[in-house]
Structure 1
Amino acid sequence: MNQTQTAPAVRRISRSSDDKMVAGVCAGLARHLGVDPTLVRLLTVLGVIFGFGSVAIAYLVAWVVLPQD
């Protein structure tokens, strides 16, 4: 009747040190989401262009806050 349950592994977002173009934020986010880094980079560039810089600010904050893997 006693069953032990294991906690699921916690996945944390970190900047990529081996697949980076600027700071590794997009590659780290893509790895966390399980998608292609090129797609995340493309969406980031489009967000910077059409988001009036709000995505650029978010990228800079992520660069400072996210740890390097």
Structure 2
Amino acid sequence: MSAPLVRPRDNRMIAGVCAGLARRFGMSARTMRILFVLSIVLPGSQVLLYLALWLLLPSEEQHRASTAW
């Protein structure tokens, strides 16, 4: 079973988005952060996507509380 897509409490730099994505896809958080920083030079709305994920992804505590039932 794959890890849920949540923002973990540990290994956060800013909001935990890259750490959560890395955990979900089986990568290191450092690799995910490097890929994100490199993607900034490409055209697109990467920063807006990061902000949206920050708002939409539940924190690890919220996820545990909602699945405790």
Q: Give the TM-score range, shorter chain.
A: 0.7 to 0.9
Once residues 67 and 27 of structure 1 are traced to their aligned partners in structure 2, the CA distance between those partners, rounded to angstroms, is 13
Cα distance, 1:40 vs structure 2: 0.5
Matched letter for residue 37 of structure 1? A
| Cα-Cα RMSD | 1.5
- Taking structure 1 as the reference length, the TM-score comes to 0.77
Once residues 2 and 18 of structure 2 are traced to their aligned partners in structure 1, the CA distance between those partners, rounded to angstroms, is 20
- Taking structure 2 as the reference length, the TM-score comes to 0.77
Question: Greater CA radius of gyration, 1 or 2?
Answer: 1
Structure 2 spans left out of the alignment, 5+ residues: 61-69
Q: Percent identity?
A: 38
Counting only pairs closer than 5 Å after superposition, residues 1-69 of structure 1 correspond to structure 2 as 9=1, 11-52=3-44, 54-69=45-60
Structure 1 spans left out of the alignment, 5+ residues: 1-8
Matched letter for residue 45 of structure 1? V
Q: As a proportion of its length, which structure holds more helix?
A: 2
